[in-house]
Amino acid sequence: MLKKRWPRGLVLWGLVLLCLLAGGYSLTRQLAALPDEIYLIGGGSRVLDVGLPMSMTLQDTVEEREEPSGITVNGNPVSQGGSVQSALEVTGSTEGQASVELKLFGMIPIKEMRIISVPQKVLVPGGQSIGVMLHTRGALVVGLMDISRENGEKVGPAKQAGLRAGDILLEYDGVEIQNAAHLSSLVEARGAGEVPIVILRNQVRLELRISPTQDGGSGEYKLGAWLRDSTLGVGTLTFYDPESGHFAGLGHAITDFDTGEILTVREGTIVQSNILDVVKGRAGEPGELKGNFSSSSKTLGSIVKNTDYGIYGDAEEALSNPCYAYLEAADRSEVKTGKASVLCTVDGGGVREYSCQIIKIYAQETQAQRSFILEIDDEALLEKTGGIVQGMSGSPILQNGKLIGAVTHVFIDNPKRGYGVYLDWMLKDMGELD
């Protein structure tokens, strides 16, 4: 039996088509990885791989600028065009904003990116232990339960209404909810009957309807939900910006212990905290700084925002550091593997500097929490804490005389190691306060 043979020319065209498809898929992924926004600090630069030659259009996005923005792309200043062979080098020297649009064959729009350049920023590093007192907006649902009526029947109003753990209750019968106690008083005053309730679920506002039931034991009207509206904890101040009066700390969000949800901010403060004891970290057992503070402790600032990259707010007065009067902020392109240090407070001696190593760096063009890996190698700190422990989150990380980021998380299986977040991402979030 003869085997069917494909014409040689058809086979070659098929191979060419497969190569084109593979190349197109690779290029699509490459272009999709390009950021929508490029953030540059103090003359920082970024090199991006675009894959194919393209035409380029630059435009200053700030109207009535007296001086050029100082932003260049492949050496071309803003308001000039140009071409890109395979790489895009973006540099900023002064404050400014611009946009760059890439076009394939000079006609097909491929990608538009926003460029934000800020001048060299000078910050006062932190390292102080802080007590954090946060009151949430509304009331957070941390669990659901059934209510026993007088006849013994069990009813779950919150379940029937479709509430879930992690929902934030904002309004009850048209009234803004201040806290859990306020909600209880609203429920009792309104009594029986179906009531509209506004919630926030995954950052989306929803309106549900709920029918409270009367508890057979107490006679009170209840929703059948466990609620929380405040939290307390110990962390570390990352930096203070003397120009704006803002502060940043923790390097990660304050989340609810039960639901993992990022807590909204109604009001909050950071206060001075004293370290009383240290639970040393071991493999599989994260350590902890045990701090002491109260509502009468000295207030350092008010919390305005709680984000994935830390807490931010307004300082009561200028904050200082005993180790460094100030440090320049590093662009993330300046972060390298090798020697670095952390500032933190682990006893009554106050802020001290301890050595570490940056052992791995992640290239990030969009905000992400885990920017690099650090390893503590300072014998004094290892003897005291075993490495990175809870309460050290937010400890500023220094390299080559600049502030490069903050400690965020510890490796559970190796407390000597942890993650750090680029300072870029913290400055970006803090900038939205202005």
Catalytic residue numbers, as ranges: 252, 378, 393
CA 250 to chain CA centroid, Å, is 10
CA 174 to chain CA centroid, Å, is 32
| Contact by Cβ (8 Å): 188, 220 | yes
CA distance 187 to 24: 59
SS3 58: strand
CA distance 338 to 320: 28
Nearest to 71 by CA among 101, 111, 100, 112: 100
Nearest to 403 by CA among 201, 239, 287: 239
b/e burial code for range 7-21 (CB count within 10 A of at least 16 → b): eeeeeeeeeeeeeee
CA distance 80 to 177: 53
Which residue, chain included where needed, has tokens 């990175």?
A: 388
Structure tokens at 131: 């007590």
Concatenated DSSP letters of 378-432: -HHHHHHHSS--BT-TT-EEEETTEEEEEEEEEETTEEEEEEEEEHHHHHHHHHT
Strands 108-118 and 37-41 come out as parallel
CA 228 to chain CA centroid, Å, is 22
The four Cα atoms 203, 206, 211, 215 give a dihedral, to 10 degrees, of 0
SS3 138: strand
Structure tokens at 80: 């000039």
Concatenated DSSP letters of 265-296: -SEEEEEE-EEEEEE--BTTB--EEEEE--TT
